[in-house]
Amino acid sequence: MKVRNDLRNIAIIAHVDHGKTTLVDELLKQSGTFGDHEKVSERAMDNNDIEKERGITILAKNTAVKFEDKRINILDTPGHADFGGEVERILKMVDGVLLVVDAFEGCMPQTRFVLKKALEQKLTPVVVVNKIDRPMARPEEVVDEVLDLFIELDADEDQLEFPVVYTSAVNGTSSMTPEDQQPSMDSVFHAITEHVPAPVDNTSEPFQFQVTMLDYNDYLGRIGVGRVFRGTMKVGDQAKLLKQDGSEKSFRITKMFGFFGLKKEEIQSAEAGDLVALAGIEDIMVGDTICPPEHPERLDVVRIDEPTLQMTFLVNNSPFAGREGDYVTSRKIEARLLTQVETDVSLRVDPTSSPDAWTVSGRGELHLSILIENMRREGYEIQVSKPEVIIKEVDGVDCEPFESVQVDVPEEYTGSVMESLGERKGEMLNMINKGDGQVRLEFLVPSRGLIGYSTEFMSQTKGYGIINHSFDSYRPVAKGYVGGRRQGVLVSMETGKSTGYGMLQVEDRGILFLEPGTDIYEGMIVGEHNRDNDLTVNITKMKAQTNIRSATKEQTVTMKRPRVLTLEEALEFLNEDEYCEITPESIRLRKKVLDKSFREREEKRKKLAAKN
């Protein structure tokens, strides 16, 4: 079979924080892709503000480097389970994968997830044991763990013969043995060029291109990124767009881009195996096939994992609506959500009976919270409800998503973690004592049991525990109590500004969520009650003025530091009868029903309905 020996297409896959993006940085620097005058920023591939702040990759990205006489197309993929839809599509574009594994942590839940996807696609793996410079690195054991994982995931004989490269991406070193680190990435480049198969050269056949990722540009509009699977495409060619819903559309190829380094460069033609971007096609979508009008042949549908979690997004109708945001109307919010669906295939937006509310479904809390964070930074004001898992009927039985959970904790905290996950209907599958005072626990837990669990877990383990989880499967709905918030909340009875005096009066009732001088309104949640019921409080109260000088006037009173919630913590904290109000400047929690008497009436009605 004829192949294009001058080209290799690979994806870099790994668990979150095992060093994929740093490794890509080094491959870019050492390949000579950049001139001497060009400076490569740290984690150059993560170009989104939130990616840079959090140190995670959210969107898959591609680049290309030259090594010797070969061009290597590299795709950097996200490590978080919530962005698994991105990983799955990327694997359709490549012939091999670099599986990056931390030399200390070894195989983690997401390592299993991404490797399973790669092996299903019959891709050729190259294992990179990274962070070899860590003080407690255990490379030989990690390679054994990787081999066990390959066997467990039914890898074929060829896949089991994977080469292993040992690297310290942060130091720019690599070698084929753990000890003998060389100050270059040549070992990685050689492993790629020698073991990853070259694309098949079928350039003489009719062209076939499939869209795997979407990009957007203010000047060019929507851009479809994908691989030429067959033939040669040229600018000016007549082509047919075969959509996944069965419809077709004829057009002419007007703009084509290739990737080199961190730049897109305009090109005139592309051959089988090339990764390119096409612009100028308005309604192009992921999974669409492009081919000549006389050979309309559709490629296999791109399968994407279904969403497992949903929230209701609403127009902000709080007393402070419209104060801080630029975009507050239902028309603007709906348009923004529909724009997101065009580039994020794991997201679903469905209308509800109200024109001011939409059901937004995604792959997890992080997936949805990143969307919310992006929207607030762009000037949108919205309200969202408590995240809920999506129940699916399988063979006539109601099933809910379960997650495979891996916990690494110091030995003394294992009891409390096992007890808390047991309460959340978690089933313990494995317990490994690592011998250094650390214990690894593996559980299968309903996804709804993990909503809001990370805060509890961090306080249980005093911040020393590490928890990772990824979607496992749909199983019959777990009966009984499955996690959730046990405590009630402190709800404001007045509209005004919080005062230090008012807050001092109620701080022994629970934990407050805001600083003195914050604008608040009736029905807004101002703290967590230390009992299981809600309590209405007045923290706008001012100290009464008298003309009598107090004997204790000069004494200073110290107030406890309030717990100001981040967006993720606020979403985790929510209950069914509450909303989170999100604006560019504020994150507020509130009751759905703001008026106290209406809330009490509603509560009585629910209790009566439950009795009957």
Binding site membership for GTP: which residues?
A: 17-22, 130-133
CB 201 within 8 A of CB 211: no
Nearest CA to 348 out of 308, 312, 307, 311 is that of: 307
Helices 139-152 and 109-120, packing angle to 10 deg: 50
Burial of 484 (0-12, 13-18, 19+ CB in 10 A): middle
Token pair 């574009």 in the structure block, residue: 93
What is the residue-wise DSSP string for 430-492?
EEEE-SSSEEEEEEEEEHHHHTTHHHHHHHHTTT--EEEEEEEEEEEPPPS------S-EEEE
CA distance 385 to 363: 16
Beta-strand relationship, 124-130 and 96-102: parallel
408: number of Cβ within 10 Å: 18
Nearest CA to 224 out of 161, 270, 162, 287 is that of: 287
Token pair 């997936």 in the structure block, residue: 367
Show the tokens assigned to 567.
């967006």
Token pair 């989170």 in the structure block, residue: 580
Q: Cα angle at 35 between 30 and 73, to 5 degrees?
A: 50
Residue spans of beta strands (DSSP E) within 367-437: 382-384, 388-389, 392-394, 397-410, 427-433
Show the tokens assigned to 530.
């230390």
